[in-house]
Structure formats: C-alpha cells, structure tokens
Structure 1
C-alpha cells in the first residue's frame, strides 16, 4: 500500500471532508471533530479510536530563553507569542486555556500572533518572527529530548486533554489500505514511534 499524507488544521480538514475531499482515513488533533463526523454519518461505524494524547510545549528557538517552569511568560519581556488558531486547531485552544489558567490572557493579548494551524505557529517561532510560542511537543521532541532551542513542557493539568482520534471515513470503507493503516496505528510498532515524539497513549 502507498500512503499519501496531507497535513493541515483539523477544522480545515473537517470542511474539506464535508465538501467531498477524497480522504479515506482522518487523523485529527482532537477527539471532537471525528466524533462530529461520526454523528453526521461520514465515517465507518466503530472505527474511531484515540491514537495519541498530545502534549503542549512553550518553545523558543533560542537556547536558554524558555525556563523549565515557563516563567518567561510572566516576565512580559517578549514582543510576540505564537499560538495556533484556537477555533481551528486543538493545540491553539489548549494554549488559550493555559493563558487563562495562568491569568495571562489580558497581558498577552497584544503580543499574540496566530498561525492557521500548529505547523504555522511553529514556523513563526523557528524563523524568529516570534520569540516564543505554544507548539506541539512532537514538533520539537525526538528520542526523549528537546531537539533544539529551549522549552517548557506544559503540565496537562493546565488545559483539557488533547485526545487525538483517528477514524476511517466513508471513502475508505472498502479500502484494504485504510484498514491496514488503522491496524498498524493500533499496534506496538506505531506506539513506539508515537511515544518517541513525546505523545502519551
């Protein structure tokens, strides 16, 4: 089987699926979007499952810029804080919940630069257009450590769980490839890869 992957914001994919995009399997960054598609009859019954639980990180491309407790957020010394669009991207929503919990929503309002999705939020920081930003730990984590820059791994207690669900879509109903991919994702080999990028299972 040959896999062709498309990357983007969960909310945007929802719209594309509703408009007939030829996707067979949907790996979302949340659990509510696949559940909604399931309710709307767009998925193969009983195929939805959680493939990973995402971890949020506050990251800077600069070494030593972000401390291990994330206190850099409170210092207000930065010009730009990058987050993903909270309406379309689950990690963006989690980021706003963290700011709310830390009572920093007002203080950071004028500094926020919003990416369409978590990839763009990461790009703003990696290119230096924002000194720091909330990203998915998986973007900056490899083999059990932060691969570059400096980061605070945000405690899961500061936001709703980022449960990431996968589901077979109606267009993948009779596809052996779609079934094989889902079976693989549920297996130990995939679990090892998923964990190595900082996700929980």
Structure 2
C-alpha cells in the first residue's frame, strides 16, 4: 500500500512539473471564444493560460518593448508578419486562426435596420468605433464609411474607443446609440444576443484575417506550442465558428 501511494505521489509530482503557464496576448474581439478555448485546453493539458486582451496595435508596441507574451492572437495578419520579420516571433509559426466580420450594432432593439440605412439618415448623436490606428476592426469601420461615402457627413458623431471591447461598452451603456463592433461580440451560435444589428457586407472593407504567431519568448516551450496546435484542432474551430467567425 505504501509503495502504491509513493507511485501515485510520484506521478502527481511528475505531471505538475510538466504543467506550465502560457502568457497569451489576444485581440479584444476574440476574448470570449479564447476564454472558452483556453478553459477546454487547460482541462485537457493541465497547462495554465494567462490571457490578456487588448488592442493589437498596443500589443505590437509592448512586445517590441519586452512584454512577456509567448503567443499573440492578433486582430489582423500584418502585425504578426511584422513581428516575424523583425525577429520578435518565430519564423514559420504564423497562421490564420479566424476571419472576422464587422457589424453595425445598437443595444436598442429596432434601431439598426437590416440594410444599415440608419447611417444615411443620421438620426443619432454618437457612432462608436475602435481607434483605426490601433484596432483592425476600427480600420474596417472607417473603410466602410468611406465606401458608403459617409465619412465626412458622420465625422462629428464618431466616438473613438481604445479597442473593440471599449467600443461595445460605449454602445451597451448608451454613451453611443450605435457603432461598429465585431460580429463575435454580439452573437452566439448564429443568433444576436440583444439589440439590433446590420452585418456589414464584406465587400465594403478589407478582409479581417486574424493571425496567430508564436513569439520569441515562447520559442522552444512545449506548452505554448501545444496551445497553438490545439487552436488548429476541431474542438477549437467549432468554438470559433459558433462566435460568428469564418475559417
């Protein structure tokens, strides 16, 4: 009995030694699905995922200045590519984990019509969107307004948020009647969680290809590599699709 107990304790100690913590930077729009994916991964692997959500542009600056992130899940494909070229990410580790969709959303039911005509009518005071210099979804929003030839007419009504999460918060709290956010933030399993929305046609903005990359601080770390592999698997992909992304 004593020998069996010793073996069990040895196995538990061994598994705890194999477990590791992963420092993950994730684009704000992907927070909810990544929380679900990370929880499933932790159960299966025993590793711990330390997740920080924010604007991709800010992560880029932080990584260049020595932030301890091992993985970046960006809201675009340009930032991981730049980090790779500049030596801050592992060459060949980059891949597209999701393709984002832009939506015009209001917390008020019936306010946003299914063709987005409210933008042309302009009968609202504030339009929220993420800072286009930091957030790819904010850039997509400005591209949409330009394509609709409404950029000048609506400029005075725009309320800039630091990232897409803050943009949604401005709308949810009524500080802005409507705004541009990620479809993943306001839908679950293909259904709008609340309010009213117009899914912006993809032809109005550049494709939002969201790339993942193993950063230099994650080089050679099995836990970080395992999480990236898990992100490509069927379970993670099912979660990604359920939040309204394309693959």
Give me the whole-angstrom Cα distance separating, in 1, the residues matched to 2:245 and 2:204: 16
Counterparts of 1:64-79 in structure 2, within 5 Å, are: 64-79=110-125
Q: 2:99 aligns to what?
A: 53
Could you list the runs of 5+ residues in structure 2 that have no partner in the other structure? 1-46
SS of 1:77's equivalent in the other structure is: coil
1:26 aligns with 2:45: no
Higher helix share: 2
TM-score, normalized by length of structure 2?
0.81
Q: 1:176 Cα deviation (Å)? A: 1.2
Among 115, 121, 127, the alignment partner of 2:161 is: 115
1:98 aligns with 2:98: no
User: 1:76 Cα deviation (Å)?
Assistant: 0.7
Unaligned runs of 5+ in 1: none
Runs of 4+ with >2 A deviation: none
Pair 1:43 & 2:99 matched = no
Largest Rg, 1 or 2: 2
Instruction: Point out which structure has higher relative CO (alpha carbons under 8 A, 6+ apart).
Output: 1
CA–CA distance in structure 2, aligned partners of residues 167 and 146 of structure 1:
30
Structure 1 counterpart of 2:216: 170
Cα distance in 2 for residues equivalent to 1:76 and 1:45: 47
Pairwise CA RMSD of aligned residues? 0.5
Q: Distance in 2 between matches of 1:157 and 1:139?
A: 21
Distance 2:85 2:103 in 1: 32
Aligned partner (choices 190, 213, 235) of residue 189 of structure 1:
235
Give the alignment of 1:120-139 within 5 angstroms. 120-139=166-185
